[in-house]
Chains A and B, each alone.
Chain A
């Protein structure tokens, strides 16, 4: 078990190094910090002194090493746009994004799995066809447009739910902020979470349906029927359980996707998270924020992959037996 985790972590290191390299290359090739800092009037001696002071005269790999070292210590430089340390900017916005992403995932899972099971068992009922049509629309509907239409319906026309921001937030344990403590905060979360979760929900539903159809055809299900087990025991005890491995993979991998994809939802709802920060930074080529975001997302993906692998281990006994 420990060896398994160890090998997974070892595999993750090259990925992080490569992403770190890309993030560093962004710094190195895009824009010239010396010119930006010096402005118009300067002597050659001043320029050389600044280059030496910033360490830009060092060999490439020394600079790359230093970049990784400072990044490991949580220092990603200063944002060009906001003139504040990037690490602080991201830490401030991380809770908002994670709260949104987790709510959206829970929503997608809680609705997508039952819908998938239903459409898998009852293939040709009217309700199944309705679910399948809805899921096709869900795949074709761009996230930002869904957000706009939801705002139009629930905020502008009906006036039920707020259309932007997080509502009142409460500080918890130093740096974490949460909107869950007040009704207004939860209300602000509803529309963004639906917007972000709908695509994942349709994906989960289609996947569970396809897996259910596959599993229900197998011999052990036929045998379970021959033994006279109830439909309930067969569908949920035998079939659903065996569809879980691919479903967990996809949900796990999709969580990284949700965190990254939240940049669209956050822009539509002006949600003060990391995604909105990234979009604002891309628009003005704020390289430090972009490279920090890239590294952070890579880290999130690697961690999620690790968790997914561990979950496999828990769900599928065959994997444990093989080792």
Chain B
């Protein structure tokens, strides 16, 4: 399986593309650092008992009064910035991944339905997607987030916030997937193999799921990768605006917002390092997405 993937056209294009290799390496390092944060991180930023105000606002290595126990310095509560970033990336990746997954599921379902059924169903669904696409996704996510939060009872808000954010960002991204899937479905449904399946009496839902769906996976992968970058930025933006994840569950965006307060007193590292982590993560994902698009679609080059 792995060998086949390695020797396929896609595998060859991957092996010979320096951009793909470097961005994969960066993405892998960041993902490993995030997933294994409890093992790899030098400190536990969630463990309040281990924090000491004596250690607060230590600068990163390379500046005066710094030491290697906090390579990227500490924040106002003495929390290690590097560890906080590793735990923060966990949250950012988790929210980003599940938001995109949600958007993909909704987008594929609606796109397949619209493309295969056609007619009035297609017209209505695509009209809705068009209207939503004219609004920036961050505005949609912000409003959805605001409305759901307002509808929830006050005591449950904090514990459910992460699901609300995943839902809000997922909803803001689905039209991209639906439009692509619909486009590919329209092409596929008129091909001979679909006709043949229909002739031998395969039910519509089965044609959609086991014949059309596998053929629209390529474009969905491309948009999914680029969408992951968008979702991570979206979550970070919401958290920065103060309507995202609570400080008890800090993502990169929350860390940047909390650190923003110390910019003027000279402690730039509290906000800049989480920002750099965010940029690296999104840049690596976007480069991978760009490469994937070119590799799957040689005509675009």
Contact = CB atoms under 8 A, between A and B. Distances in A.
Interface of A: 15, 18, 26, 29-31, 136-137, 139-145, 148-149, 151-152, 156, 163, 253, 256-257, 260-261, 263-264, 267, 278-279, 281-283, 285, 287, 290, 294, 297, 301, 305
Given A26-B147, A141-B279, A142-B278, A279 B263 contact: no
B243 A30 contact: no
A260 B260 contact: no
Nearest to B240: A144
Contacts of A256: 134-135
B136 A260 contact: yes
B241 A148 contact: no
A149 B287 CA distance: 22
B292 interface: no
Q: Which of A151, A263, A281 has the most CB of B within 10 A?
A: A263
B278 A30 contact: no
A297 B229 CA distance: 26
B276 to A, nearest CB: 9
B182 to A, nearest CB: 21
A317 to B, nearest CB: 27
Contacts of A152: 263, 268, 272
Chain B contact-residue range equals 35 or more
Interface string B245-278: 0000000000010001001101010011001001
Interface of B: 131, 134-136, 138-139, 142-143, 145-147, 149-151, 229, 233, 236-237, 240-243, 256, 260, 263-264, 266, 268, 271-272, 275, 278-279, 282-283, 286-287
Task: Provide the main secondary structure of the chain A interface.
Answer: helix
Q: Which of A142, A149, A253, A278 has the most CB of B within 10 A?
A: A142
A283 B242 contact: yes
Given A142-B236, A143-B237, A30 B272 contact: no
Given A278-B142, A282-B145, A283-B243, A137 B256 contact: no
Contacts of A149: 272, 275
